[in-house]
Structure 1
Amino acid sequence: MNNIENIRPLISVIMPAYNAENYIEDAINSVLSQSYEEWELIIIDDCSSDKTLKIAEKLSNNDSRLKLIKNSKNIGVSETRNKAINLALGEWIAFLDSDDLWENAKLEKQIAHANKVGASFVFTGSSYINKEGKPFKGVFEVPESVDFNKLKRQNVIPCSSVLVRKECFETIRMERDNMHEDYAAWLRILKSGILAFGVNEPLLVYRLSVSSKSGNKFKTIGMNYRVFRSIEMNPVSSVYFAGVNLVNSLKKYNKILFKNKKIKRLRLTNPL
């Protein structure tokens, strides 16, 4: 085994939480179960009104790697993530939403792949569960690598799958909760010339919610339009790529829809 394989850098896992009492214990336990043990988990409760904070407190008392913080006022997911990034001690940053889960080898396989290809940004494929934790058929497959131009056409990087070097956030932050703030951050990072590498395994377990809201497609277009405007694309190009994103995402998720025929419509809790 060579020296680079022996390196076990600290990973700072960032988990914003708001009214997640039904899911947060499973999310935290999926971090505790990681085969890669060199991590810290920064949980920031954004003024939840349910039992989220109490559940996180109970679990954090049993493992010193869990660091629990409570915001003094509700500041939203973007600023909560930024706050956690500022507090992170790790060389790497990973994100896990409080309703998602990781497979046990997720961090281990990402670090190994980063070492193999010399990556600063690694993401993974996904499987899916519903709000009760029942699995959906089908998985989200990811490409071997993605650059800025490819990512403009479709966001294939689920936030809860990302592992990225902390130095990438020296000048980049997540902004504005009225758009896909994580997608905008990935675009800014890749625009700097960094390549994102995919591990094409469903190491993220992503929670989907069922919705019949007819305006969801239009909402998604609007949020993606704001993403492209935030990275200084002109209005015409922003409209174009927002539309391209929607078409490509629908094609991708049709595979899931066809394998789950009883589901009339799926809406991602944090759409790709």
Structure 2
Amino acid sequence: MVEEMEDTVAILMATYNGAKYIEEQIQSIINQTYKNWQLFIRDDGSSDETLKIIKNFTNIDHRIHKITDNLGNLGPCLNFNELIKTHLEYKYIMFADQDDVWLENKIMISVNKIKNLENFNYNIPVLVYSNYYISNSSLKYKTIVYKNLNQKHLSERLLVHSWVMGCTSIINSSLAHIAVDIPKEAENHDNWLAILAAAIGEIGYVKETTMIHRIHEDNVTKNNNTNTLVNRLDRVRKMFLFGLLEKRKLMQKLNIRLTETEFEQPLVIKKYQKLLDLKGIHSILYARNNHFYAFTKKRTFLFYIQLFFSKKRGLENAKR
């Protein structure tokens, strides 16, 4: 009985006006071959039928819970942060988007992989992420995302640009305790968790696809990656104006977190901090020699250009 409780997986779902697809997603969780899970849903102030659908599911399955608090609308990152903070007692935590669909073995595959990496050492912060499909709103024309994913120099590359999706991930309690209270400079919980796991713990990848990530006009992924020329130019402008400064601030907060949790500063963090303090051709050469490059060649090129024109700034020059 004790072992059964230890292996319970807490699934955290942040919702907002997700009535169109959430029923299909929750049903895919119910259909999992791994049955020892608890689904905790925190709604961020939906005005559609989302809350009604959630209530219907809580009535038919005791493992599904709606979180009620007085915190109001938090936005996706703080919503997930609140969910992590209030479920730290669970050995494993997974994250669910309201509009995706999980394949039936997703939890089983994820738990088996993370247990293998822990190897009974539960003090090691561990994150496991998996391959997945992307699809349109009707779930037609599925495409595998990672066809030939390079697993070399993960720590360095994830500090430059994280490609790890939270909705494909499982983390253990050790990582959750360090990650709670996500800095705003981390952009999202996906990025923060991946950086922590890669820098001070273990990060594992499952090549098998475990879910379908639905791309549609209303979801966060679509909104953050809109391919209009105006949005592309705005993202590049923000990257060059604030990108490295935000990364420096994030490294400061990361080091404070490591000190608080008695983790030593890893070598990769020291190298990355040195990189951020360099400029011109020296920064690019240092980045290349120490394997700091992004997920794609385009992202790597933009990062190098960003480094080249960067000047060392103190935190007093933070964006106003």
TM-score normalised by structure 1 residue count: 0.76
Tell me which residue corresponds to 2:135. 129
Deviations 1:194-252 (A, max 9, x none): 12100001112112247442134345554793763442254778x989x954744779x
Question: Does the alignment pair 1:187 with 2:201?
Answer: no
Change (3 A) 1:179 1:114: closer
Question: Does the alignment pair 1:231 with 2:250?
Answer: yes
Tell me which residue corresponds to 1:255. none
Tell me which residue corresponds to 1:86. 85
What are the within-5 Å matches in structure 2 for residues 215-230 of structure 1? 215-218=230-233, 220-221=235-236, 222=238, 225=243, 228-230=247-249
Question: Does the alignment pair 1:200 with 2:207?
Answer: yes
Shift of 1:189: 3.3
- Of stretches 53-62 and 118-127 in structure 1, the one that deviates more from structure 2 is 118-127
Other structure's SS at 2:129 match:
strand
CA RMSD in angstroms comes to: 3.3
TM-score normalised by structure 2 residue count: 0.66
Change (3 A) 1:186 1:138: closer
Which one has a bigger Cα radius of gyration? 2
Change (3 A) 1:11 1:74: same
Q: Distance in 2 between matches of 1:155 and 1:87?
A: 25
Residue identity opposite 2:243 in structure 1:
Y
Q: Distance in 2 between matches of 1:33 and 1:230?
A: 42
The answer to whether the Cα contact below 8 Å between 1:16 and 1:77 also exists between their aligned partners in 2 is yes
Change (3 A) 1:52 1:7: closer
Q: Distance in 2 between matches of 1:100 and 1:229?
A: 34
Structure (1 or 2) with the greater helix fraction: 2
Deviations 1:164-194 (A, max 9, x none): 1022121323343992342133213322x21
Other structure's SS at 1:201 match:
strand
The answer to whether the Cα contact below 8 Å between 1:77 and 1:177 also exists between their aligned partners in 2 is no
Residue identity opposite 2:197 in structure 1:
I
Tell me which residue corresponds to 1:117. 117
Other structure's SS at 2:143 match:
coil
Structure 1 runs of 4+ with >6 Å offset: 5-8
Q: Distance in 2 between matches of 1:19 and 1:63?
A: 22
Shift of 1:42: 0.5
Shift of 1:6: 9.1
The answer to whether the Cα contact below 8 Å between 2:144 and 2:209 also exists between their aligned partners in 1 is no
Residue identity opposite 1:93 in structure 2:
I
Question: Does the alignment pair 1:106 with 2:106?
Answer: yes
Shift of 1:136: 2.9
Aligned length: 244
Change (3 A) 1:23 1:246: same
Change (3 A) 1:158 1:236: farther
Q: Percent identity?
A: 20
Q: Distance in 1 between matches of 2:174 and 2:91?
A: 8
The answer to whether the Cα contact below 8 Å between 2:12 and 2:41 also exists between their aligned partners in 1 is yes
Change (3 A) 1:209 1:175: farther
Tell me which residue corresponds to 2:46. 48
Shift of 1:100: 1.6
Q: Distance in 1 between matches of 2:171 and 2:152?
A: 14
Question: Does the alignment pair 1:162 with 2:169?
Answer: yes
